[in-house]
Amino acid sequence: MAHVLLSNITHESEFSATSTAALTMVLSAIQECSKWVASFLNTLSQETGWAFTVLMGGPDPEKPGGDITMFRYDFNA
C-alpha cells in the first residue's frame, strides 16, 4: 500500500493537503519498518548466534523525484 501511495505522490507536480498527509504516512511507515527490522533481527541474532543482513530500498519520499535510497542492516551475535 505504501508503494502505491508513494507512486502517486512522486508523480504529482504539486502537493495537496491529501498528498502531504499521504507523504507523512509513508515516511512514518518507512521509519517504523526500520525500527521493527532492527529490533526483530537483533533479538534473533542474540538468540541464535547467527548473523543477519537485510538490504532494503526504494523511492525516498523526502527527495525530489523520489530518488532511490538504500538501507543495510547487519546484526551479529
- Supply the mean pLDDT for the chain: 79
CB 12 within 8 A of CB 29: no
Q: Which residue has the higher pLDDT, 34 or 3?
A: 34
Question: What is the value of pTM for the model shown?
Answer: 0.57
Residue 65 predicted with pLDDT over 90: no
What cell does 53 get? 543482513
Q: pLDDT digit string (tens) for 10-29? A: 444 444 566 888 888 988 99
Q: Which one-letter amino acid corresponds to residue 65?
A: G
| Residue 74 zone, left/alpha/beta (φ > 0; ψ -120 to 50; rest) | beta
